[in-house]
Structure 1
Amino acid sequence: MDSHQLDIVSLAWCRELGLPDDALRRPGTRTVGPATDTIRFVRLGGASALIGPEWLLARAADVTDETLASRSTLVELTRDHGGRCTGPRLLAYASEVHADIDVDNPLISHVLPHVQALQSLCPPDDVAEADLTSRRNWFTLLDEDENPLAGAGYAEWQGIVARVAVLTAPGTRRCGHGSVVGRLCTNDAIDEGMIPQWSSDPGNTPSRRLAARLGFEELGSVTEITLAAP
């Protein structure tokens, strides 16, 4: 990913976090955002931003970015305030269209019922992780009997980023089906003028490997804590 594309991704995150448009374009710097009850720490391309209440900003002032990106560090800094932590989630981005889908004339559906049929075959945690029904621009690979094998979709975010996810039926994994729909979905997002974003748990090796095969480059992470009500 070139510097211009990274600037576009940075702009999307700045808008999301309520920061000046260039706040994440200075590698090696940390920006402190407006105080809020929802804590978010974002690292992107060597820059970072910390959003949270004043007491948290003070506690984290001398903590390095690498340490702060750890789930355990943010949990410890906020232990006396409670709350629920999600992340860290690795952020990866793709910038080029690729033609290698390894299947001739795949049968692809773009309708919600096939997405729902695919979800019915998958474990609830996998369904929640991909959250395909909240996305659009679906690509569901079907077999000759129109049974779903794998699906992908993306949701437009901040007008310039496409949040991509892939879901594969348990009985058909390791067959390359996820790569087929992931490639078609990623290419479509790029053709629409957006930069695809992939989010993975650091311990989800299959997800990270699939993203790498699709051309996604890991460039940052996000960790969030929703504080308990006072």
Structure 2
Amino acid sequence: MGGHRAPGRGSSPAFVARAYGKVVAAAGYRAWPSRTAHLSVLTATAWRGKGLARATGSAAVRHALERNLLPQWRARIPASRRVAAGLGFSELGFQLSVELA
């Protein structure tokens, strides 16, 4: 696993896991207001369930904490919620989205 600079202002490096020369999982964060690090984690379908989301997510969380940022994980689907819980995140509140007509 290694870190690569992601494009865009306020972005962390992308922390990736590779297999056979291809990226199969990646994580990073975008700096949000109030020193929050909003995490994103992706894993290729064929590589899910092998701990790669947790490994790359852990690297992104560590990077954010070293920069005195508060990591935030908006986990919606059960698998994402399990990874977040495995990294020590606690569920607080809920998200509501509204679309105006």
Counterpart CA distance in 1 for 2:87 and 2:14 is 17
Counterpart CA distance in 2 for 1:149 and 1:108 is 12
Which structure has more relative contact order (CA 8 Å, sep 6+)? It is 1
Unaligned runs of 5+ in 2: none
CA RMSD of aligned residues (A): 2.0
TM (norm. structure 1) is 0.40
Unaligned runs of 5+ in 1: 1-106, 114-133
Match of 1:173 in 2: 48
Question: Which of 65, 70, 87 in structure 2 is aligned with 1:190?
Answer: 65
**Bigger Rg, structure 1 or 2:** 1
Residue 227 in structure 1 maps to residue 100 in structure 2: yes
Counterpart CA distance in 1 for 2:30 and 2:44 is 21
Match of 1:108 in 2: 2
Match of 1:171, SS?
helix
Match of 1:221, SS?
coil
Amino acid at match of 2:14: W
Cα offsets for 1:59-111 (capped at 9, x unmatched):
xxxxxxxxxxxxxxxxxxxxxxxxxxxxxxxxxxxxxxxxxxxxxxxx31414
Match of 2:14 in 1: 138
Match of 1:200, SS?
coil
Identity %: 33
Counterpart CA distance in 2 for 1:109 and 1:147 is 14
Q: How many residues align?
A: 99
The structure whose residues are more often helix, as a share, is 1
Amino acid at match of 1:207: S
Match of 1:80 in 2: none
Counterpart CA distance in 2 for 1:224 and 1:146 is 38
Match of 2:28, SS?
strand
TM (norm. structure 2) is 0.87
Match of 1:153, SS?
strand
Counterpart CA distance in 1 for 2:43 and 2:11 is 16
Match of 1:220, SS?
coil
Counterpart CA distance in 2 for 1:151 and 1:166 is 6
Amino acid at match of 1:166: V
Counterpart CA distance in 2 for 1:192 and 1:199 is 20
1:2-17 matches, within 5 Å, as: none
Which of structure 1's runs of 4+ aligned residues deviate more than 2 A? Answer: 134-137
Cα pair 1:139 1:153 within 8 Å, conserved = yes
